[in-house]
Amino acid sequence: MHPTPSIPRVSKRAAKSLNSQPLPISRIGDLGHGLRVAALAPDGVIEAVEHEPHKHWVVGVQWHPERMKDHALSSALFRALVQATRAAAAHR
């Protein structure tokens, strides 16, 4: 896993545990409008995408972070979701 700056960095150990997960049945091919690659697997498979304008926190991943509570990147994604939710609620 090679995260980009906007996806939290993970340790080599955490990346290895993610890479050991079964391959997804479907893979991201063409990115939709406004999406950019946020993380790549060592073989070049897109593992995560995010919305470019950053008006809203939009991230899509090719694994199940809810099933990997002890995984560093999955935990970081959950914390980022909570932070984004709190920030959005504060601006209402």
pLDDT tens, 32-64? 888 989 888 888 888 889 887 767 788 888 888
Q: How many domains does the chain have?
A: 1
Domain around 34: 2-90
Q: What's the token pair of residue 81?
A: 């979701």
- Whether this model's pTM surpasses 0.85: no
Contact in structure between 76 and 39 (CB atoms under 8 Å): no
Query: Taking residues 64-88, what's their average pLDDT?
Result: 87
- The residue among 65, 79, 73 whose CA lies nearest residue 14 is 73
